[in-house]
Amino acid sequence: MKLRIKGDSLRLRLMRGEVATLAATGSLSESMRLPGASLTYTIYTSENATEISARLLDNILEVSLPDAVVQYWANSDEISLSARHGPVSILIEKDFACLTPREGEDDSDAFPHPDKVVCD
């Protein structure tokens, strides 16, 4: 799972296996270890959730999604889920393989790219 934060914008990209895991188990989590601290980012589903939301609590960034929305998204050709939660814009995307292979980038579990995807 890739995380990008820019200003009040939060973007998560999930590979095929991660989308399948989220749909099957209801959660994914990654951690970034820093000297003396860590940042964990978690995405999870909830049957009670009515909207996509995000919060930061004790160095854990949590993104919550309605379970029904994730089940539909995981089994469809829909590319992304998006929402605004307060001032934060949230975008969750299926991660596509790059058009041009890049050194150090493993696209083996990426979704096949549509012809016009530009990687950044």
Residue whose entry in the numeric block shows the structure tokens 């041009």: 100
User: Token pair of 91, please?
Assistant: 């975008």
Mind listing the pLDDT tens digit for each residue in 32-89? 999 999 999 999 999 999 999 999 999 999 999 999 999 999 999 898 999 999 999 9
CATH class of 2-94: alpha beta
Q: What is the pLDDT of residue 42?
A: 96
* Res. 105: pLDDT tops 80: no
Beta-strand pair 2-6/9-14:
antiparallel
Distance CA 34, CA 25 (A): 28
CB contact set of 71 (below 8 Å; sequence gap of 6+): 23
Distance CA 74, CA 71 (A): 5
What does the domain layout of the chain look like in residue ranges? 2-94
Distance CA 104, CA 76 (A): 29
**SS3 at position 10:** strand
The pTM of this model reads 0.82
| CA torsion, ordered 13, 10, 119, 75, to nearest 10 deg | 30
